[in-house]
């Protein structure tokens, strides 16, 4: 593989030279799904010019897709591997030292260094998470991995889950999970009622003012957010907005997914209240900008099938969502139930 990588680095530099871009390949990273080449432009080079060379670089590297994105002073050129490898959630979980993991932590997937990428929802910099991506991007698999890893790392006295699944299939394997605070929700009327119930809980906790540690954290996971915003109407949006604005102080966190991050539907709801965005393959640069909150992330050139970027505070991390089968979910749910019985 080393010879192939060196040859590809030479081709990248050839394209840069042809277009009179003063820059050199200085290193790279190999992951189970893609290969990254790090380009360091000279101080007078225009990064925007490198971004415009997607197609030329893809042709030179003989690949159907090439993602170019800035990272600090460097520019990353990323291409898919010829032999992609699957990432498994339970394998990642076994790499963790559970005693060292803070509460309300979930596994997002495989990080660039080959270890599990974790996120702590109770962190002041997180609070709420928006997951975006087209059909086939891996949104449901990512949500399933987050839900299961939260349940594996947090006892029912620490965590209460509320799952809203309009499709009635995404979260079905989690039935019977001890951390579920109520049955799975699918209809828009029931979804509105559940959010209004959470608003009352939030207000009650605020009135008692006894600190979040006294109660279990509540994580509300919503699949197909845009559909629910449209069918649930103003009552759904009003309740959700209140939770997004004040929920963190009461220990209530939202993880919501949407297939199409439409600005006209999501509007200021997204811009102001989701500090962390997890973005899979989207159809256009415009959708990528709305989904991530930033321009130039290259999310429209991700591979799909669990290839994601995490965007927070202007920083972008690419990761691979881990797969967990429905059978593995059901087996893990049974094991957790037996442990807490």
- Name which of 20-24, 191-195, 211-215, 302-306 the model is least confident about: 211-215
Q: Select from 2, 26, 33 the least CA-distant residue to 12.
A: 26
- Mean predicted confidence (pLDDT) in 93-99: 92
Query: Coil, strand, or helix at residue 121?
Result: coil
Q: At a CB cut-off of 8 Å and minimum separation 6, what does 38 contact?
A: 25, 26, 27, 28, 29, 71, 74, 75, 76
Q: What does pTM read for this prediction?
A: 0.91
Report pLDDT digits (tens) over 236-271: 999 999 999 999 999 999 999 998 777 666 666 666
Please indicate whether residue 207 or residue 155 has the higher confidence score (pLDDT). Answer: 155
């Amino acid at each position: 593989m080393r010879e192939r990588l060196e040859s590809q680095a030479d081709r990248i530099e050839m394209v840069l030279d042809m277009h009179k871009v003063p820059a050199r390949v200085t290193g790279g990273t190999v992951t189970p799904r893609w290969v990254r080449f790090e380009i360091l432009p000279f101080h007078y080079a225009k990064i925007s010019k490198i971004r415009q060379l997607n197609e030329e670089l893809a042709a030179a590297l003989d690949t159907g897709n090439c993602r170019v994105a800035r990272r600090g002073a460097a520019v990353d050129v990323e291409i898919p591997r010829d032999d992609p490898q699957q990432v498994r959630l339970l394998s990642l979980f076994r790499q963790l030292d559970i005693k060292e993991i803070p509460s309300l932590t979930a596994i997002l997937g495989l990080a660039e260094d080959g270890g599990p990428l974790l996120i702590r929802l109770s962190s002041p910099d997180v609070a709420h998470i928006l997951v975006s991506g087209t059909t086939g991007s891996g949104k449901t698999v990512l949500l399933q991995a987050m839900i299961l890893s939260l349940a594996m790392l947090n006892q029912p006295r620490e965590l209460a889950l509320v799952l809203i699944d309009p499709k009635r299939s995404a979260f079905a394997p989690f039935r019977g999970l001890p951390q579920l605070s109520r049955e799975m929700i699918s209809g828009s009327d029931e979804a509105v009622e559940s959010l209004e119930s959470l608003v009352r809980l939030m207000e009650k906790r605020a009135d008692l003012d006894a600190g979040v540690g006294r109660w279990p954290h509540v994580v509300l996971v919503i699949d197909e957010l845009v559909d629910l915003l449209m069918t649930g109407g103003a009552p759904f949006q009003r309740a959700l907005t209140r939770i997004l604005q004040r929920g963190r102080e009461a220990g209530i966190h939202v993880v919501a997914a949407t297939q199409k991050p439409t600005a006209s539907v999501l509007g200021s709801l997204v811009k102001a209240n989701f500090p962390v965005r997890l973005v899979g393959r989207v159809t256009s640069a415009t959708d990528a900008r709305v989904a991530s909150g930033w321009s130039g992330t290259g999310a429209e050139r991700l591979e799909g099938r669990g290839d994601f970027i995490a965007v927070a505070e202007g920083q972008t991390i690419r990761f691979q969502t881990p797969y967990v089968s429905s059978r593995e979910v059901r087996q893990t749910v049974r094991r957790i139930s037996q442990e807490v019985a």
